[in-house]
Chains A and B, each alone.
Chain A
Amino acid sequence: RKEVEQDPGPFNVPEGATVAFNCTYSNSASQSFFWYRQDCRKEPKLLMSVYSSGNEDGRFTAQLNRASQYISLLIRDSKLSDSATYLCVVNKVTGGFKTIFGAGTRLFVKA
């Protein structure tokens, strides 16, 4: 079983739609959580950190559920420019520090 799992998609949504991605992690000692965005043939870029109380940045909302060991990303009012791959990232400390990337969820937003 992968340490961080994401639905690979693709998610195909029309402009203006709301779309949600989930990500599960297996290690309960995981410490910090992030969502990155990666455009085709480009490097990953930090989209937002994920805090225990949940956090929002404009149209993007991230939630963390430690009990169930998953994080989520909600995108409201999707734009064409949101088309990208979204990577779930988990930092854990036990057994040595490690950053673990999910394989990513592809999103296509269509006009």
Chain B
Amino acid sequence: DVKVTQSSRYLVKRTGEKVFLECVQDMDHENMFWYRQDPGLGLRLIYFSYDVKMKEKGDIPEGYSVSREKKERFSLILESASTNQTSMYLCASSLEVLGNSPLHFGNGTRLTVT
């Protein structure tokens, strides 16, 4: 079974803080993703990566950056947290970008920015 692990289940941060969300997968998947999920808006893609040191912007990259120094680890960085970044953040991985590979999700990090 694929295991995607997110470092924190709940986080509370102050406005302006730099926030790091970590994600590790153990199945040697090429692709990793960061989503946020908000009521009524569904899942929205922030960034994804299809290889080490590669990154691509998703639909809502503003205010975020990412880092993929190792294949198994994909970090999401909030440079200066704002209250509108309060959300559930979900990391996912998949075997292939093209084709029928489904996404495997971590159990999420619920971030509150006060």
The residue in chain B whose Cβ has the minimal distance to the Cβ of A51 is B100
Residues B90 and A97 in contact, CB atoms below 8 Å apart: no
A46 and B43 contacting across the interface, CB-CB below 8 Å: no
Contacts A42-B107, A43-B106, A43-B108; A49 near B100 (Cβ below 8 A):
yes
Shortest distance between the CB of A9 and any CB in chain B (Å): 13
B102 within 8 A of A: yes
What is the number of residues of chain B that contact chain A, defined by CB distance less than 8 Å? 19
Assuming the contacts A42-B108, A43-B90, A93-B98, asked whether A99 and B103 have C-beta atoms less than 8 A apart, the reply is yes
User: How many residues belonging to A are interface residues under a CB distance threshold of 8 Å?
Assistant: 21
Task: Choose among B90, B103, B110 the residue with the greatest number of A CB atoms under 10 Å from its CB.
Answer: B103
* Interface secondary structure of A, over-half rule: strand
Instruction: List A residues 40-75 near B (Cβ within 8 Å).
Output: 41-46, 49
A34: interface (CB < 8 Å): yes
Check A103 against B104 for contact (C-beta < 8 Å): no
B window 14-67: CB within 8 A of A: 33, 40-43, 45
Q: A45-B105, A46-B102 are in contact. List 15 more A-B contacts (CB 8 A).
A: A31-B99, A31-B100, A42-B107, A43-B90, A44-B43, A44-B90, A44-B103, A49-B100, A49-B102, A89-B103, A93-B98, A97-B98, A98-B45, A99-B33, A104-B42
